[in-house]
Amino acid sequence: MPRQKVPDIEFNHFVLGQINDLFAQEKIYINPAYQRGDIWKHSQKIELIRSIESGYSIGVLVLFLNDLGKYEILDGQQRLLAIKKYLDGTLDLTETEFTAYQDLERRERIHTDAYCIYYLKLKSHDTESREEDIVQTFLRLQEGTPLNKAEKISAHRGAFKDAFKEAGDASELFKRMSGDKRFRLRLLAAEMLLLELEGDFENKIFPSLELQSFISAIKTYKKRVPPSKLRFYMANLDLLHISLNYLLTALKPSEALALYLLVSYLRKHKAGNQNLPNEISAFAKEFLKKLNSFSIYDKEAPKGMPGEIFQKYRAYKFAAKVMTTPESLKSRFEMILGEFARLKPHIEKDPKRYHDEEQKRELFFRQEGLCAHCGKPMDFRKSTADHVVSHGEGGKTDDLSNAQLLHERCHQKLEKSRRKQRKKEIAAGNLTRAGKAP
């Protein structure tokens, strides 16, 4: 057993009459990381007021004194919020035996105001482990209402948490999706980030989306999330936002997740992606229409849908019900990628990016040692191989009829003029989809 963590504890109390002032002066602070909102049922609040009125204990709160001298509520948020509502007069007391706080007679009021609310004040003296101690303490105190996964993940700190929290709160994608489910969307942002960081898209192997995967990601990426991955993730969110637009308002998180996997994969692997947002947009409309055209319990395909397509979408719906397992993620990813390929035929980039030494040698002798651009002799060691149809637009590396060997300088010149040509064509609106060029 590890040594017990003994925090710096002090036992103390407020009186009930102070509570409103403490909130007003922001002495009591509900750390947004632990913000659970007002989740108690009305009957639980009334029961609490009954305890107070009868002079019984409402238990002991746990507060953490932070560096700003404010009390962060680790345990007791629901109790304090209920008391505050009672004091504000916003707690519905009809059908109870209680008089509203504002209407109490002087003597009763003094009596009520003097009710002691006991608390433990924690101050961690170990600055190194302090953050973790607070989180762990919070996670273990739950006022009888267990935290859900989103709340548990949100309570942690570190770079991974900062990244998905910022995305979940600020990205246009989630704003468009938002409703009354902030924590669910934050969890969705966390899920997408986890899949981006830990997913193996090539081999379709994804981490489970159970709490344990998040806890280990929080540890792995405590100090930093690789910036390039983070940029890629943010750009995926932007692309989804642009492509889906108003469809987002009715989109379920599980479908957003599948579309995320698709977009992330296509951005890395599909050749010629200038038009990707429009392609995703058109695809998503068709995909979501089919998906929502029948219920999971339907045994027969809806009118106009071939049986085998129906079976595919039906299997997808079943997989989407089990949202967190690697198998479910894999089968949904395969299905959506397959559907995209069927509805939007496209060319994948050659996984092999560069020509190897053997291929270059073959080109060298095929061209009899002469540069394919200027026709002058080359030094083999200083020559470079070029894709005629570029790699990004689907040019195959192993197809040597699509390759030529050039002087380095000639290669640079050629690239420059290609870029110019490309700009012109885009400006003229001729270039809609790459991979179809020459």
Residues engaged in binding Zn ion (CB under 5 A)? 371, 373-374, 407, 410
Which CB atom, from 268 or from 376, has the smaller least distance to Zn ion? 376
DSSP string, 211-243: HHHHHHHHHHTSS---HHHHHHHHHHHHHHHHH
373 or 391, CB closer to Zn ion? 373
Name the nearest CA neighbour of 262 among 295, 286, 227, 298.
Answer: 286
For 181, 236, 237, 317, the CA distances from 177, given in Å and listed in that order, are 9, 16, 12, 20
Q: Which residues lie below 8 Å from residue 378, measured CB to CB, with a gap of 6+? A: 364, 369, 370, 371, 405, 406, 407
Instruction: Pick the closer one to Zn ion by CB: 98 or 364.
Output: 364
Cβ nearer to Zn ion, comparing 28 with 410: 410
Residue 165, number of CB atoms within 10 A of its CB: 18
- How many Å from the N-terminal Cα to the C-terminal Cα in the chain? 69
**From the CB of 408, what's the least distance to Zn ion, in Å?**
9
Would you say 371 or 385 has its CB closer to Zn ion? 371
User: What count of other Cβ atoms lies within 10 Å of the Cβ of residue 284?
Assistant: 23
Which lies closer to Zn ion via its Cβ, residue 62 or residue 410? 410
Select 289 or 409, whichever has its Cβ closest to Zn ion: 409
Nearest distance from C-beta of residue 374 to Zn ion, angstroms: 3
Smallest gap, in angstroms, from Cβ of residue 159 to Zn ion?
48
In whole angstroms, how close is the CB of 372 to Zn ion at the nearest point? 8
Nearest distance from C-beta of residue 362 to Zn ion, angstroms = 18
CA atoms of 72 and 198, how far apart (whole Å): 34
Q: State the minimum distance, in angstroms, from the CB of residue 400 to Zn ion.
A: 19
- Structural tokens at position 84: 């505050």
Shortest gap between Cβ of 350 and Zn ion (angstroms)?
A: 25
Q: What's the min distance (Å) between Cβ of 425 and Zn ion?
A: 25
Query: Is-contact 359 392, C-beta < 8 A?
Result: no
Phi-psi sector, 105: left (phi>0), alpha (psi -120 to 50), beta: beta
The residue (of 312 and 373) whose beta carbon lies closer to Zn ion is 373
In our burial notation (b when 16+ CB lie closer than 10 A, e otherwise), range 189-212 reads bbbbbbbbbbbebeebebbbbeee
Query: Which is closer to Zn ion, CB of 2 or CB of 375?
Result: 375
CA distance 191 to 201: 15
Per-residue tokens: 185: 């969307």
CB of 383 vs Zn ion, minimal distance in Å:
9
* Ramachandran region, residue 325 (left: φ > 0; alpha: ψ -120 to 50; beta: rest): beta
Question: Cβ-closest residue to Zn ion?
Answer: 371
